[in-house]
Chain A
Amino acid sequence: MLESLQYIYAPQIVNGLSIGVAVVLMALGLTIIFGLLDVINMSHGEFYAAGAFISVSLMAMGVSFWLCLLLVPLFLIPIGFAMERLLIQKVFHYKDRHILTLLLTFGVAMVLEDGYKIIWGANPIKPSAPISGASELLGVMFPNYRLFLMGFGALIIFSVWALIYKTQLGAIVRASAYDKDMSSSLGIPVKRVYALTFAFGVALAGIAGVLLAPIYSVFPTMGRDFILMAFSVVIVGGLGSIKGAVIAGILLTQLQSISSLFISPVWSDPLVFTVMVLVLMFKPTGLYGGMKNA
């Protein structure tokens, strides 16, 4: 009993957690963008892939992995900013902007995905992990990179939370989400806040891409596979809720990795989606409300 806990469950839980923090990073971006702009960013997975691809190219030029973690968001922020200003804002005034922005970002996803194929080719690239080796914890060996991933991811998640709930900047963002007109009459540059928030959200996806590149391979459709999980997390947690994204992200990735001990891993995806559908059916707004009230 104890042995199985130690040798079978513990590694699986840690594996799940390291994927989990990356999923939470993705989901945080999605949920922040939705919470403020009411936009479902269908291209979020492609920004995750962008992070991975850019880091692959930078590392090929000799840039260190650690610098990539800093440079990739710096690359993605202007791209996200421009996308919000030049595309999303164009359809923002329509009554059915929920649907139009969803369609728009879906179109961007198509373009980006095919763009990656043209630039980097369709074959998977596998960068080597920047930290090798494994450490012993409670008699079980854990890969060092996964331990780093968990710690670093948790740090970013905490910083995002602190940024939004503990700083003046976060208060501005939350005020804009709460009442756009009121905020703009208070002198908050709401449009710039929107664009920056979008950029910030996709940059988080990019960081997730850099972090997961050494674990999964890097290939053009990688975002498409991963986005399903991120959407499930955001829905289960409650669209717009940061707390919800963190809790649901950990729960769902744990469900996925622990269930794969008992059932074939191919069934763990349907399991996660079933949970999502059930949550949507019985608690359509997810476990926690939006950024406005949580």
Chain B
Amino acid sequence: MHNPQAKAIRLIEILLLVSAVALFVIGSILGDTFFLRLATESLIFGGLAMSVDLLLGIVGLLSLGQALYFGFGAYLSALVLKEISPSFFLAIGVVTLSSIALGWVASFVALRSKGVYFALITFGLAQVVAKVVYNTRSLGASDGMMGVPILQIWTPFGIVDAGQPGIFFVITMITIGALYAVLKYFLTTPMGSIWHAIRSNEDRLAYVGYKSKGPKQVAFILAAVVAAVSGALYPMLRGFVSPELMFFSVSGNAVVTVVLGGVGTLIGPILGSVLLTSFKSIIGTWTVHHHIVIGLIFVVVVVSAPKGIAGLLAKYFGKAHSGKGGE
């Protein structure tokens, strides 16, 4: 692998997988609940960040309202589990199909605009829906919905209890891992190349034979699905959903996560989410003001390393490589 970015991505993948396995093994032996649940939550929000990165880092569209799809997935999943059947696969299936439809409809609104207008329209769209949910009594209004049942999930190894933190951690890992694999697959296709081309120089695309609209729509819908499926896991972990899941702070946090982990790498955001979640829980023990610290780190990253952790790693590999070449 001569490409430093590909090297950085591979390193992060291995690092995350090894730590996940280690956490599962050690956590299960020690009967830990706290860290396993924390790690599960960081993966769920990592999925949301990954969907932001698909749009921002791959296609070049900054979404400031990705929490809309995350919240949609969470609410729909909670509804299915509570009202229809406590089935993991039913919930994921329904959320996947519905988010395709929602993403498709929303794409007609959002993709009419470009650049900062796209950012602001996604922001506005999410805000409208969040306020509507916040005020809809049948969705629990500002309280959200509680009492999502604990799932028994069918697997090839028998039925497992998702109430066990270790088990649900593995299930989340597989789900987010599958989403990541799907996105990576897309990047190897001509569609993926077109996305990169759109980010790089959208106006030129027509002169190599493509309209940008269709490919952008595919990416937008895919991002909606990734966010929604990640969101669908949330009530399974926490047992409730609340309108805060759709608020700007969640969308904004996802953007921070992406930039911190490394924009355009898809795996960087997962790493970013793990780091940010751990960081919050660590400094959360001695101060409630973690935002000021995260905000400061974020500002420093944007100014001095806009490609995030993955970018720093890639830079290091690039230097190591050229250093060797020079000898």
A and B touch in the complex (CB under 8 A): yes
CB-CB under 8 A from A110, the residues of chain B are 252, 256, 291-292, 294-295, 298
Tier of interface size on chain B: 35 or more
Encode A237-252 as 1/0 by CB contact (under 8 A) with B.
0010000000000000
By the criterion CB–CB under 8 Å, are B291 and A280 in contact? no
Tier of interface size on chain A: 35 or more
With the chains together, A99 CA to B296 CA distance in Å?
A: 18
Whether A107 touches B128, Cβ cut-off 8 Å, given contacts A235-B120, A267-B135, A284-B112, is: no
With the chains together, A222 CA to B236 CA distance in Å?
A: 33
CB-CB under 8 A from B45, the residues of chain A are none
Q: Which chain A residue has the least Cβ–Cβ distance from B131?
A: A270
By the criterion CB–CB under 8 Å, are A114 and B248 in contact? no
CB-CB under 8 A from A103, the residues of chain B are 255, 259, 298, 302
By the criterion CB–CB under 8 Å, are A102 and B116 in contact? yes
With the chains together, A87 CA to B117 CA distance in Å?
A: 23
With the chains together, A284 CA to B128 CA distance in Å?
A: 18
B215 at interface, CB cutoff 8 A: no
By the criterion CB–CB under 8 Å, are A277 and B109 in contact? yes
Whether A98 touches B306, Cβ cut-off 8 Å, given contacts A107-B256, A231-B123, A267-B135, is: no
Query: Among A89-97, A179-187, A193-201, which stretch is in contact with chain B?
Result: A89-97
With the chains together, A183 CA to B74 CA distance in Å?
A: 52
By the criterion CB–CB under 8 Å, are A87 and B116 in contact? no
Encode A125-151 as 1/0 by CB contact (under 8 A) with B.
000000000000000000000000000
By the criterion CB–CB under 8 Å, are A269 and B131 in contact? yes
Q: Which chain B residue has the least Cβ–Cβ distance from A117?
A: B289
Whether A111 touches B306, Cβ cut-off 8 Å, given contacts A273-B127, A284-B117, is: no
Encode B157-182 as 1/0 by CB contact (under 8 A) with A.
00000000000000000000000000
Q: Using a CB-CB cutoff of 8 Å, which residues 86-126 of chain B contact chain A?
A: 109, 112-113, 115-117, 119-121, 123-125
By the criterion CB–CB under 8 Å, are B121 and A280 in contact? yes
By the criterion CB–CB under 8 Å, are A118 and B289 in contact? yes
By the criterion CB–CB under 8 Å, are B121 and A277 in contact? yes
A98, A115, A224, A235: the one contacting B292 at CB < 8 Å is A115
Q: Using a CB-CB cutoff of 8 Å, which residues 262-300 of chain B contact chain A?
A: 289-292, 294-296, 298-299
Q: Using a CB-CB cutoff of 8 Å, which residues 235-294 of chain A contact chain B?
A: 235, 239, 264, 266-267, 269-270, 273-274, 276-277, 280-281, 284
Across chains A and B, the number of contacting residue pairs, with CB separation under 8 Å, is 112
CB-CB under 8 A from B299, the residues of chain A are 87, 104, 107-108, 111
| A interface SS class | helix
B56 at interface, CB cutoff 8 A: yes
By the criterion CB–CB under 8 Å, are A280 and B131 in contact? no
A43 CB to nearest chain B CB (Å): 10
B26 at interface, CB cutoff 8 A: no
With the chains together, A131 CA to B113 CA distance in Å?
A: 45
B303 at interface, CB cutoff 8 A: yes
Whether A99 touches B292, Cβ cut-off 8 Å, given contacts A91-B302, A104-B299, is: no
By the criterion CB–CB under 8 Å, are A100 and B292 in contact? no
Q: Using a CB-CB cutoff of 8 Å, which residues 138-173 of chain A contact chain B?
A: none
CB-CB under 8 A from A63, the residues of chain B are none
CB-CB under 8 A from B303, the residues of chain A are 87, 90-91, 104
By the criterion CB–CB under 8 Å, are B117 and A280 in contact? yes
By the criterion CB–CB under 8 Å, are B295 and A108 in contact? yes
B261 at interface, CB cutoff 8 A: no
B56, B127, B290, B298: the one contacting A99 at CB < 8 Å is B56
Q: Which chain A residue has the least Cβ–Cβ distance from B259?
A: A103
With the chains together, A91 CA to B125 CA distance in Å?
A: 28
14 further A-B pairs in the complex, CB-CB below 8 A; given A99-B119, A103-B298 = A40-B116, A87-B303, A91-B302, A91-B306, A100-B302, A103-B259, A104-B303, A114-B295, A235-B117, A266-B131, A270-B131, A273-B125, A280-B112, A281-B109
| B residues at A contact (CB < 8 Å) | 56, 60, 62, 109, 112-113, 115-117, 119-121, 123-125, 127-128, 131-132, 134-135, 248, 252, 255-256, 259, 289-292, 294-296, 298-299, 302-304, 306
**Cβ contacts A to B, 14 pairs, < 8 Å:** A40-B119, A87-B299, A87-B303, A90-B304, A96-B60, A100-B306, A103-B259, A107-B256, A108-B295, A110-B294, A114-B292, A231-B120, A235-B120, A266-B131
| A residues at B contact (CB < 8 Å) | 34, 40, 87, 90-91, 94, 96, 98-100, 102-104, 106-111, 113-115, 117-118, 224, 228, 231-232, 235, 239, 264, 266-267, 269-270, 273-274, 276-277, 280-281, 284
